[in-house]
């Protein structure tokens, strides 16, 4: 289980993964070595999946975000493998979720503009048979975060991880 210091470390890293070990250690009240060991254990346990930089899509001329709703009438393993290969090869897709309910898959797609989305759409439907594709376009981003609500978490950690 994570203790309050682990949670503080995770909160700091979620906000700024570029902090040095010295800065994190100082903010959580540890020396550098124990702080680094805690981070290493959380990485080994898979709690920390990656440390990345978040980029501003609009400043990179990638100003159109589209949520693509996919329905299929094929649910066999062969189709799923083909679909997974096709979508993993398309860099415009930044997230994919397999859904329960009326929607089979939900994709988050980031492109330059409507022409770029049209090109993406045509490549997608050529690669894999889909029964229905619909798109919703983001007009305004009101909230976007990658930070998880740590105060609500109860991590599932493999016993061998030692956390």
pLDDT in tens, the chain (163 residues): 789 999 999 999 999 999 999 999 999 999 999 999 999 999 999 999 999 999 999 999 999 999 999 999 988 999 999 999 999 999 999 999 999 999 999 999 999 999 999 999 999 999 998 999 999 999 999 999 999 998 887 766 554 455 5
Please state which CATH class domain 58-137 belongs to: alpha beta
Instruction: Please list, in sequence order, all residues whose beta carbon lies within 8 angstroms of the beta carbon of residue 15, skipping any fewer than 6 positions away.
Output: 147
CB 107 within 8 A of CB 71: no
Identical fold, 4-53 and 58-137:
no
Q: Where are the domains of the chain?
A: 4-53, 58-137
- Architecture of the domain delimited by 4-53: Orthogonal Bundle (1.10)
């Amino acid at each position: 289980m994570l203790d309050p210091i682990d949670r503080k470390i995770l909160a700091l890293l979620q906000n700024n993964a570029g902090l040095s070990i010295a800065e994190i250690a100082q903010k959580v009240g540890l020396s550098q070595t124990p702080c680094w060991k805690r981070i290493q254990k959380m990485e080994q346990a898979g709690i920390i999946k990656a440390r990345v930089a978040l980029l501003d899509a609009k400043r990179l001329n990638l100003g159109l975000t589209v949520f693509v709703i996919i329905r299929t009438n094929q649910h066999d393993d062969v189709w799923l493998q083909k679909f997974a290969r096709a979508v993993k090869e398309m860099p415009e897709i930044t997230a994919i979720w397999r859904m329960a309910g009326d929607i089979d898959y939900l994709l988050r797609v980031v492109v330059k503009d409507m022409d770029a989305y049209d090109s993406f759409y045509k490549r997608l439907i050529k690669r894999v048979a889909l029964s229905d594709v619909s798109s919703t376009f983001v007009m305004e981003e009101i909230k976007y975060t990658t930070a998880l609500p740590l105060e609500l978490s109860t991590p599932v950690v493999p016993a061998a991880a030692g956390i």
